[in-house]
Amino acid sequence: MNIYDFTVETRTGEKLSLSDFKGKVLLVVNTATGCGFTPQYEALENLYQKYHNQGFEILDFPCNQFGHQAPGSDEEIHDFCTTKYQTTFDQLKKIDVNGPTAHPLFNYLKTNAPEDYIHGIKNIMAMKGITKISKTYENPEDIKWNFTKFLIDPEGHIVKRLSPIENPLILEEDIKKLLN
């Protein structure tokens, strides 16, 4: 089993098979529009602009499970992202990533990449604080907060799980290697 075995919904409610992305490098992210990490959209768009034409895609899944920081409709979230951060990658349908209503894709990602990459003691301490306020974080592999990032290789395997606190730009070298 790999990521290509899953189907998700677009923000307009259409089914999207992740097998459509075979051969591409993917970054799967759970996001929120009202989070302290929301400015990461800028870095995500930067990566998308640089590498999209080489086979890089971002799968952006808004999630309202952490501090209710993605309260809008799918269309409102899309409008916010395109207006405030000029994103050109699309947002998918809002989902849950933890608990009994978690999307099967995120259950798979959490099970197969249970630990976040966190660089530096400052970030480790910050994530400990965030973990304490998360109402849906129950199991060690659970998503701790908005903007957890999963890097997927062209064969559909998880390469890295990046902590919410880490800037997506630190994945640039990994993305370049996977594209070559």
**Dihedral over alpha carbons 42, 43, 49, 51 (to 10 degrees):** -160
- The catalytically annotated residue of 3, 28, 35, 171 is 35
- Residue 35 known to be catalytic: yes
> DSSP character for 131?
H
- Could you report the per-residue pLDDT of 88-100, keeping only the tens digit for each? 998 999 999 999 9
pLDDT digits (tens, 9 = 90+) for 33-75: 999 999 999 999 999 999 999 999 999 999 999 989 998 999 9
Given a cut of 90, is residue 7 above it in pLDDT?
Answer: yes
**pLDDT, tens only, 136-169:** 888 889 999 999 999 999 999 999 999 999 999 9
Rounded to the nearest 10 degrees, what angle do helices 172-179 and 40-51 cross at? 20
pTM: 0.94
Domains and CATH numbers, the chain: 3-9+28-155 (3.40.30.10)
Mean of the per-residue pLDDT values of the chain: 94
Strands (E), the chain: 7-9, 15-17, 25-31, 56-62, 149-152, 158-162
Picking from 66, 56, 58, 64, the residue whose alpha carbon sits closest to that of residue 28 is 58
Q: Are strands 25-31 and 56-62 parallel, antiparallel or unpaired?
A: parallel
